[in-house]
């Protein structure tokens, strides 16, 4: 079975459309992130208290919300995974979880309420984790840039890292629009995404490098687009197959591991793999094409 046999899709020739789409998506994501004041930071970064409770028979979310409000708690309540399962978030980390559970129990005596998970993060740790997350992602990107610069060339390095920003920002934007929470595992997911997406870009870059070598020192300027386009096309099959084999297991997490902390993790990776696949097909080679064309023009002049 083959999805593509010798594909000859004119990706590079149509790059201005892809620039447009990517530009629009990045812009939209940035606007979303600005309007919402950044990603939806979770307890990990803001500090505070998070409880995961299970109610049996399942309570309605409004019931949980109004009970806690009537007792004077400022709570964010969300459903989580299955009916009757809730995430409760408090901005103060001083509240005792048992106090909350008891408040719910006394208001709903016929419901079994069990505390499954608690997370308490003090403000000093929240700041530390935030700094750590930012460093983590930036250090990761910087190392990638250095690696590709070293193994390929500066143009590929910069273009691949630009694509990484593109993938990260769009994934974060969609993730935020979906109302999901930004936590420590999300940062790990983003870093993994960076690794994955650069991996895709390298496979394409590798093929283009191989083709460029065939020309030796003199690369005819009018052939650049053709060379780059055939590089993308020849690796297209692999790019799609690998994305699929990565997406299948991610989908199984999304379907079978709902109500666990790795759901969000899989969600951002799913978005990221799709965006990353698109960017390594449509964006990286396109930027490098333009860069090569401009620098060759300069050399001639």
Site for other proteins in 197-256 (CB under 8 A): 198-200, 202-203, 206-207, 210, 234-235, 237-238, 241-242, 244-253, 255-256
75 neighbors 43 (Cβ within 8 angstroms): no
Judged by CB under 8 A, the residue of 132, 215, 223, 295 near other proteins is 132
Q: Smallest gap, in angstroms, from Cβ of residue 208 to other proteins?
A: 12
Q: Please report whether residue 162 would count as binding other proteins according to CB under 8 A.
A: no
115 neighbors 51 (Cβ within 8 angstroms): yes
d(CA 233, CA 4): 9
Judge residue 110's burial from the number of C-beta atoms within 10 Å of its C-beta, 0-12 exposed, 13-18 middle, 19 or more buried.
Answer: exposed
Q: Total residues at the site for other proteins (CB under 8 A)?
A: 72
Judged by CB under 8 A, the residue of 19, 147, 149, 291 near other proteins is 147
Judged by CB under 8 A, the residue of 10, 114, 294, 295 near other proteins is 114
Q: Smallest gap, in angstroms, from Cβ of residue 211 to other proteins?
A: 12
Q: Please report whether residue 9 would count as binding other proteins according to CB under 8 A.
A: no
226 neighbors 13 (Cβ within 8 angstroms): no
Q: In the chain, what is the straight-line distance between the N-terminal and C-terminal CA atoms, in Å?
A: 49
User: Which residues are paired to 48 by β-bridges?
Assistant: 121
Sites for other proteins among residues 11-50 (CB under 8 A): none
Q: Please report whether residue 1 would count as binding other proteins according to CB under 8 A.
A: yes
Q: Smallest gap, in angstroms, from Cβ of residue 206 to other proteins?
A: 5
d(CA 52, CA 110): 19
Q: Please report whether residue 102 would count as binding other proteins according to CB under 8 A.
A: no
Q: Please report whether residue 299 would count as binding other proteins according to CB under 8 A.
A: no
Judged by CB under 8 A, the residue of 100, 208, 227, 269 near other proteins is 269
Q: Please report whether residue 154 would count as binding other proteins according to CB under 8 A.
A: no
Nearer to other proteins, 77 or 189 (CB): 189
Task: Locate the DSSP E strands across the chain.
Answer: 48-56, 75-80, 82-90, 112-121
CA distances in angstroms from 245 to 19, 239, 240, 251, listed in the order given: 27, 10, 9, 10
Nearer to other proteins, 258 or 293 (CB): 258
Measured at the CA of 102, the angle between CA 97 and CA 103, to 5 degrees, comes to 100
């Amino acid at each position: 079975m083959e999805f593509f046999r010798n594909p000859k899709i004119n990706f590079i020739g149509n790059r201005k459309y892809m620039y447009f789409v990517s530009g629009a998506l990045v812009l939209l994501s940035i606007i979303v992130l600005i309007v919402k004041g950044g990603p939806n930071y979770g307890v990990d970064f803001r500090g505070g208290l998070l409880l995961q409770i299970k109610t049996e028979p399942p309570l309605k979310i409004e019931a949980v919300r109004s009970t806690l409000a009537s007792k004077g708690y400022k709570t964010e309540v969300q459903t989580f995974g299955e009916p009757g399962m809730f995430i409760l978030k408090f901005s103060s980390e001083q509240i005792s979880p048992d106090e909350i559970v008891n408040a719910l129990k006394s208001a709903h005596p016929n419901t079994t309420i069990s505390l499954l998970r608690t997370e308490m993060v003090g403000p000093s740790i929240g700041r530390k984790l935030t700094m750590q997350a930012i460093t983590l992602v930036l250090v990761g990107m910087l190392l990638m840039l250095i690696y590709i610069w070293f193994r390929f060339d500066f143009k590929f390095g910069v273009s691949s890292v630009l694509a990484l920003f593109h993938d990260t920002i769009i994934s974060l934007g969609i993730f935020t629009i979906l109302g999901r929470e930004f936590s420590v595992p999300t940062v790990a997911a983003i870093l993994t995404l960076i690794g994955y997406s650069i991996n895709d870009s390298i496979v394409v870059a590798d093929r283009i490098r191989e083709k460029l070598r065939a020309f030796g020192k003199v690369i005819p300027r009018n052939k650049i687009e053709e060379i780059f386009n055939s590089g993308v096309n020849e690796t297209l099959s692999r790019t799609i197959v690998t994305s699929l084999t990565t997406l299948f297991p991610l989908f199984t997490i999304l379907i079978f591991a709902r109500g666990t902390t790795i759901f969000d993790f899989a969600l951002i990776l799913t978005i990221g793999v799709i965006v990353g696949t698109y960017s390594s097909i449509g964006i990286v080679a396109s930027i490098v094409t333009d860069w090569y064309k401009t620098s060759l023009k300069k050399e001639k002049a």
